[in-house]
Amino acid sequence: MARSYLSFDPREHAERLVPLIEDLRVAGPLDSRAYQRLINRHPRPDGGPYSKREILGAVRAFADERGWNDRRELVARLRTKPVRTISGVAPVTVLTKPFPCPGRCVFCPSDVRQPKSYLSREPGAQRAAQHRFDPYRQTLARLLALDGNGHPVDKVELLVLGGTWSSYPLPYQIWFVTRCFDAMNDFAALRTAALEAARTALDPRGREGLAELDFAAMPEIDGAVVEPDTAGYNHVVGEFLRRTHDGALLADDETATWERLEETQRANESAAARCVGLVLETRPDHVDPAEVLRLRRLGATKVQLGVQSLDDAVLRANRRGHDVAASRRAVSWLRRAGFKLHLHWMPNLHGSSPERDVEDFARLFDDPALRPDELKIYPCSLIESAELMQVYRAGQWRPYTHDELLGVLVDCLPQVPAWCRVTRVIRDIPGDDILVGNQQTNFREVVERRLDELGRRSRDIRAREVRARSVAPESLRLEVLFYESSIGRELFLQMVDAEQRLAGFARLTLPTPVPARGDETLPAGLDEIRGSALLREVHVYGGVVALGGRRDGAAQHAGLGRRLVAAAAEHAFAAGAPDLAVISAVGTRAYYRRLGFVDGSLYQHLALGNLAAARRAILGREAITVDSIPRTV
């Protein structure tokens, strides 16, 4: 964790660490046993081995003065859990504080020590509780931890989780995002500051009242016996917050203005840790045109939306509080505003069945009003604090058997199209919290093995990413996949090799205007994108390469992003769009300016009146032209 990382000063151990690193440099690649033997030859003063994090700290501390020009190779070899940044960005997850939730879903855990639906023993929830749900400390601690484990953190995807984001008061939302950006902006200075200064920045006592915001001692709720309106989650959490905040649900300092947020966002455009994606999660029934505008002003580029089921009868049985029509409207509004769409779907809900679930899953991609860009599959689990306990004890619901759940997922995963990414198949809930049902967190691997046995496979994005494998940019070709949505035509432009390994992609939306009535799906306040083609995402894979850096065989910084943007501009021009608008993240604004985009209020725009000029701006004089990129449709 961040505290142990900050408490270690490599210069106090220079006599032992420098010889250890010199041995690592000449040893070349090592398997785990050889590595262990090497570090055992250079023990700590107490006789134990130095951790990889401590060795990495020494590499950074001594590289310049010792002339270690292989520093990057050393860091890459020592990097802990390299999969964390293998998709091209450094993910930083933070949680909002526990807060009354508008939902009454029977399957949802009610752990009053966490925001609704989260559990205290989930890894991310534990980190959030340690920092009293303070956004600045959560963000800074995660950045320091990733950096300490050898991961570049200059390109950050910030995921804000916890309950229903849209139900938190707007001043809290603005403050929470502002403080996350503050932490990213302060990261570089604190990383090199004196250890005591960095530790102070993470101390919960640093903000008045924060130390009292400790939910750990609160009693657990038994969903089988508690009446929600008298002693349930909302009542218990609300009373705790009021006691802590002098009768209010928010502390006096949990507020910020739009101007303050915009100021820290501008600073982040050139910060050492830049936010290249901001993800917020909410419910379909809390999305309307005004909310879409707020999400964009906060800087969000992706929205996680819990649709859970596409069967109205199942939604009613689980007291979800909205119908399928609400999900379809929310997705259409968000897509029209250019957001990337990450939906949550839950098999094994009360009132469903394996056969019904397989039919339900097909609707995700058969229905043009849905068709998500990303998907989480969360089979329903029985948690003691959920009201589903009552249904289970009455014999009205049971978890699927291993074979039933396996059968559902084996039938579902191959249905996912090549333009969608399945990010999770099982939620990372500790097994001890699940009373009955599946407790295997690696169930995706089980499903994929079964698919191999059947001669079938998943073709989603995650199954095809180049990940850590080398890729030769000249071997890639551009393929364009077309599909329809409720607001127009979607183009998925992908850079793939001969084996269909995916090195990068872009998502382009070509909205269809509504004749004579104007664009009814365009949220109010977003007139600047009326008529625009929408570049909703550009993503290049391969492990994170530092800004300005380059690595042989790495997809990042090989010009693939420019090639994808140029291809998107060409298709937008062919469709008659006057300009290409990109829903850029705060940390990617400078990149798009270099490609010829100009700033609007909430988007950046590339004029397409002169396509040749637009190509030159995007590709630069030394880059290949769009016409020379092979393509198939």
In this prediction, residues 596-620 reach a mean pLDDT of 94
DSSP SS3 for 519: coil
* Choice between 394 and 87, residue whose per-residue pLDDT is larger: 394
* Choice between 292 and 145, residue whose per-residue pLDDT is larger: 292
Distance CA 561, CA 556 (A): 8
Distance CA 308, CA 350 (A): 12
Distance CA 236, CA 168 (A): 17
Say whether pLDDT at 411 is over 60: yes
Q: How confident is the model at residue 276 (pLDDT cuts 50, 70, 90)?
A: very high
* Choice between 120 and 273, residue whose per-residue pLDDT is larger: 273
Calculate the alpha carbon distances from 240 to 116, 195, 215, 244, 336 in Å: 15, 34, 8, 6, 40
Say whether pLDDT at 262 is over 70: yes
Residues sharing a CB contact under 8 Å with residue 259, sequence separation 6 or more, in sequence order: none
* Choice between 59 and 134, residue whose per-residue pLDDT is larger: 134
* Choice between 430 and 589, residue whose per-residue pLDDT is larger: 589
Q: For residue 559, give the nearest of 616, 468, 474 by alpha carbon.
A: 474
pLDDT attached to residue 435: 61
Q: Which secondary-structure segment (H or E) carries 533? A: strand 533-540
When mean pLDDT is compared across 73-82, 231-240, 403-412, the lowest value belongs to 73-82
Distance CA 526, CA 601 (A): 9
Q: How many CB atoms lie within 10 A of CB 85?
A: 23
pLDDT attached to residue 557: 46
**H helices present in 337-401, as ranges:** 354-366, 388-393
Q: How confident is the model at residue 383 (pLDDT cuts 50, 70, 90)?
A: confident
Residues sharing a CB contact under 8 Å with residue 126, sequence separation 6 or more, in sequence order: 120
Q: How confident is the model at residue 39 (pLDDT cuts 50, 70, 90)?
A: confident
pLDDT attached to residue 544: 35
- Per DSSP bridges, beta strands 274-282 and 302-308 are parallel
Query: What letter would DSSP give residue 280?
Result: E
User: For the chain, how are helix, strand and coil distributed in percent, rounded to 5?
Assistant: 45, 15, 40
Amino acid at 386: A
pLDDT attached to residue 79: 65
pLDDT attached to residue 216: 78
* Choice between 59 and 271, residue whose per-residue pLDDT is larger: 271
Q: Sign of torsion, CA 210 128 275 199?
A: positive
E-strand spans in 26-152?
90-95
pLDDT attached to residue 229: 60
pLDDT attached to residue 436: 64
Q: How confident is the model at residue 630 (pLDDT cuts 50, 70, 90)?
A: very low
Q: How confident is the model at residue 316 (pLDDT cuts 50, 70, 90)?
A: very high
Tens-digit pLDDT profile for residues 533-566: 999 999 998 643 444 444 444 444 458 999 999 9
* Choice between 324 and 149, residue whose per-residue pLDDT is larger: 324
Tens-digit pLDDT profile for residues 435-451: 666 666 688 999 999 99
Residues sharing a CB contact under 8 Å with residue 487, sequence separation 6 or more, in sequence order: 332, 335, 336, 509, 511, 512, 521
Distance CA 615, CA 611 (A): 6
Q: Name the packing angle between helices 324-336 and 289-297 (round to 10°).
A: 50
With beta carbons less than 8 A apart as the criterion, state whether 388 and 350 touch: yes
When mean pLDDT is compared across 29-43, 231-245, 317-331, 404-418, the lowest value belongs to 29-43
List the strands of the sheet with 90-95, edge to edge: 90-95, 155-161, 274-282, 302-308, 340-345, 374-377, 421-424
Largest Cα span, the chain: 79
Q: Sign of torsion, CA 44 49 51 56?
A: positive
Residue in this structure with the two tokens 């303070």, named with its chain if needed: 134
pLDDT attached to residue 222: 60
* Choice between 543 and 604, residue whose per-residue pLDDT is larger: 604
In this prediction, residues 211-233 reach a mean pLDDT of 68
Tens-digit pLDDT profile for residues 395-405: 999 999 999 99
pLDDT attached to residue 505: 96
Could you give the angle at the alpha carbon of 68 between the alpha carbons of 63 and 72, nearest 5°?
A: 85
Distance CA 459, CA 444 (A): 14
Distance CA 549, CA 155 (A): 12
pLDDT attached to residue 61: 80
Highest-scoring range by mean pLDDT, 322-326, 494-498, 611-615, 618-622: 322-326
With beta carbons less than 8 A apart as the criterion, state whether 568 and 493 touch: yes
Calculate the alpha carbon distances from 23 to 58, 107, 214, 356 in Å: 14, 54, 46, 60
Calculate the alpha carbon distances from 359 to 1, 156, 284, 362 in Å: 44, 37, 21, 5
pLDDT attached to residue 423: 94
Q: Name the packing angle between helices 611-619 and 560-574 (round to 10°).
A: 170
When mean pLDDT is compared across 370-374, 595-599, 615-619, the lowest value belongs to 615-619
With beta carbons less than 8 A apart as the criterion, state whether 320 and 105 touch: yes
Distance CA 262, CA 268 (A): 10
pLDDT attached to residue 2: 39
- Per DSSP bridges, beta strands 502-511 and 533-540 are antiparallel
DSSP SS3 for 492: strand
Share of the chain above pLDDT 70, in %: 85
Q: For residue 526, give the nearest of 625, 632, 578, 602 by alpha carbon.
A: 602
Q: For residue 589, give the nearest of 299, 359, 250, 303 by alpha carbon.
A: 299
Say whether pLDDT at 153 is over 80: yes
DSSP SS3 for 361: helix
* Cα distance from N-terminal residue to C-terminal residue, the chain: 47
What is the residue-averaged pLDDT of the chain? 86
